[in-house]
A and B are shown apart, each in its own frame.
Chain A
Amino acid sequence: MNVTQIEKAVKEIYERVKSESLGEEEDMLINVLHKVQDHFGNFIPPEAAETLAELMDIPVSRIYEVLTFYTMFSTKPRGKYVIRVCESTPCHVTGGKAVVEALKEALGIDFNQTTEDGLFTLEYSSCLGLCGVAPVMMVNDMAYGNLTPERVKAIIEELRGGEAK
């Protein structure tokens, strides 16, 4: 994707969010960043941040000040599937560690890394609020509960298989 395409896409997103918002302009930043990140495949390219700064008439440093504060925004490309595994107490005491190991093994990567085929990124997550079925992980917006090492491997295989088709 070249710079003009990125600029065009960011501009469209910005206008859309602006038209949906009921309030002030300044506070749209986080909302826009979410949408920009979704659009560019789980990360915010530097060109997009620059375009946004121009549109909102604020310094680029302001954009980065905000986006680097929040763990869910990424400045480097991530996989198509961002796997976020919960590391909170209820998941910890119900076997979360073995699940994490199985994930690393099935993916062949460590935390905050992306597989070579660009499919998966592995990240830790704060509590997902599904403690009744711990251990839990989310793959993009889909939650998976009652995880075991076997179940984790099957889920990864299924996603991989779906991609191969």
Chain B
Amino acid sequence: MPVAVVANTVLICAGGACISAGEKSVKQVFEEKLKEFALDSVVRVVETGCMGACNLGPLAVIYPEGIFYQKLTPQAAEEVVVEHLLKGRPVEKYLYKGPAGEVKAKAQEELPFFKRQVKIATRNLGVIDPTDIEEYIGRDGYFALMKALKEMTPEQVISEIKASGLRGRGGAGFPTGLKWDICRRNEADQKFIICNADEGDPGAFMDRSILEGDPHSVLEGMAIGAYAIGASKGFIYVRAEYPLAIERLNIAIEQAREYGFLGERVLGTDFSFDIEIRIGAGAFVCGEETALMASIEGERGQPRVKPPYPVESGLWGKPTVINNVETLANVPPIILKGSEWFASIGTETSKGTKVFALAGKVRNTGLVEVPMGITLRELIYEIGGGIPGGKRFKAVQTGGPSGGCIPADYLDVTVDYESLKELGTIMGSGGMVVMDEDDCMVDVAKFFLGFTVDESCGKCTPCREGTKVMYDILEKITSGEGTREDLEKLKELAQFISEASLCGLGQTAPNPVLSTMKYFWDEYVAHVEEKRCPAKRCKALIRYVIDPERCVGCTACARVCPVNAITGEVRKPHEIDPEICTRCGSCMEVCRFDAISKVSP
């Protein structure tokens, strides 16, 4: 067979975000045009997993130079083929440009967003084709499994993971090695390992990206875990909201079976192990481990009392280890490179790296993997590029509906399990939603409570009824009807619900309220005592007014108002009738003279 000479490789990001931004049509044009110019034999086009910079998609990187193209369209793809791949001239207009307009052709080597990252769990994302097992093997894939099976005893595997200090990346941060160890010691005729891929926290998408971009690393991590604890069967519980992840996992499992990494007598040893996918059906609570197991068993996804813990009595009453996607993706590198290497990264109690999903009011949204112990300031300003639109940072929400909001005073706190806990929030799965001065903290708390009310499974009363009562009080406060007593009642309820709820969902549900009350107490007081919303967000507490000095009477606002609340003659200052106004804000958006503003009360 003649050896094909590959002059260039075009890596196209086929992460979920880039696909939704039009990646498929871009790829199609790349392939068509390459064929047209007879370049298809020397230029390879490869679809990879998520490259991380979601706000710049669709993305492509052209090797060997590493030229980074952003926001591609079919038209752009054609130009890149003709100019860059055919004539050798990078197309400047699709390259990354910094805030001052400076061109960064090799953005992945130049931008702090990429440069500051240390990739362990996401090591293959954006680099390999996730549907091709050989590319994974080419990046040391399944070598860790081979090492574990052929050179290590299960006990040695466990002590290696213990020594690495790896802790669960799904939220609570339980030491992974210890979990495996306890499960190993529990004697049973059958044990299970489950990968919890029911990533439900709003704003967290690292698990989706890993499953879509490097499914084999999760399979390998599971196989190593199964060998360590003595399990012969594994389940991956994925949410139905992630069809692409399910598709790529299915392909990966098939390939792994074909290559002998799964199935009977893995790699010719006595160890047999296979994996089955289970698909959720839209219930957030199934991310809780006992609810998740109930769902795998074909039941309603309702949690049960712990203990007994899953490692003692899990799936069908058998000892079961449940690990998060990111945790499992960390396992193969630890086995291959050793626990010392892993433990050298991070802080005293939080080893290794963590993948964070930056979203909300931050310039660079997307996925980043950074060493534990990085400060929030570095994460949000250096890597995230700060707050867009010249607005002021107000808070960052971590840990989803179980977490809390951290205010500006604590931006220099290091990100690790303990320090976040001290601040009244949690690491959670790593979602970070950044908020600016326009976000009302009472409204944010209400938003999360609304989420919990929807997602509470209804089994225990404190969570089912308590969160609803809390939500109603918050609704009362944001609509201007709240009192001082309501604030006291909120606090009391929060304490009660967190102590009396059955599972983690209810126990942590009051956190968004407690943390915003702790750091933004003044905002709560302003809502109830002055009937004022400092962020000017709560509709019942604001009015839109027109500054007669600035208004030129262009009538743009009056024409856009859906309820005809704005009156005035042409070329004369207009007025808004607060009785009719629905506070939709359309007038403010169309005014070109900055004449309309919000006031509260």
Contact = CB atoms under 8 A, between A and B. Distances in A.
Interface residues of A, number: 42
A143 B300 contact: no
Contacts of B203: 88-90, 127, 131
Interface of B: 16-17, 19-21, 53-55, 57, 199-205, 207-208, 233, 240-243, 274, 276, 278-284, 295-302, 316, 357, 359-361, 365-367, 397, 431, 433, 435, 439, 444, 447-448, 451, 455, 457
Contacts, number: 143
Contact of B301 (A33, A70, A131, A141): A70
Contacts of A127: 200-205, 241
Given A66-B300, A131-B205, A72 B281 contact: yes
A31 B279 contact: yes
Given A89-B447, A90-B359, A146-B21, A70 B241 contact: no
Contacts of B297: 26-27
B20 A145 contact: yes
Q: Which of A26, A27, A71 has the most CB of B within 10 A?
A: A27
26 contacts: A22-B233, A24-B316, A28-B298, A30-B279, A30-B281, A30-B295, A70-B281, A71-B281, A71-B282, A71-B283, A88-B203, A90-B359, A94-B360, A126-B200, A126-B284, A126-B455, A127-B202, A129-B208, A131-B202, A131-B431, A132-B54, A132-B357, A133-B20, A134-B359, A138-B241, A143-B20
A128 interface: yes
B57 A133 contact: yes
A1 B202 CA distance: 40
Q: Which 4 A/B pairs are nearest by Cβ-Cβ distance?
A: A132-B54, A88-B202, A70-B281, A145-B20
Given A89-B397, A130-B16, 16 more contacts: A21-B276, A24-B316, A26-B297, A33-B281, A66-B300, A93-B360, A126-B200, A127-B201, A129-B16, A129-B204, A129-B208, A130-B20, A131-B202, A132-B366, A134-B359, A144-B20
A13 to B, nearest CB: 15
A118 to B, nearest CB: 22
A89 B19 contact: no
B442 to A, nearest CB: 15
Nearest to B277: A31
Contact of B202 (A70, A90, A133, A146): A90
Nearest to A145: B20
B282 A27 contact: no
A92 B450 CA distance: 13
Contacts of B316: 24
A6 interface: no
B44 to A, nearest CB: 26
A93 B282 contact: no
Contacts of A28: 298
A138 B278 CA distance: 21
Interface string A135-152: 010100101111000000
A19 B128 CA distance: 33
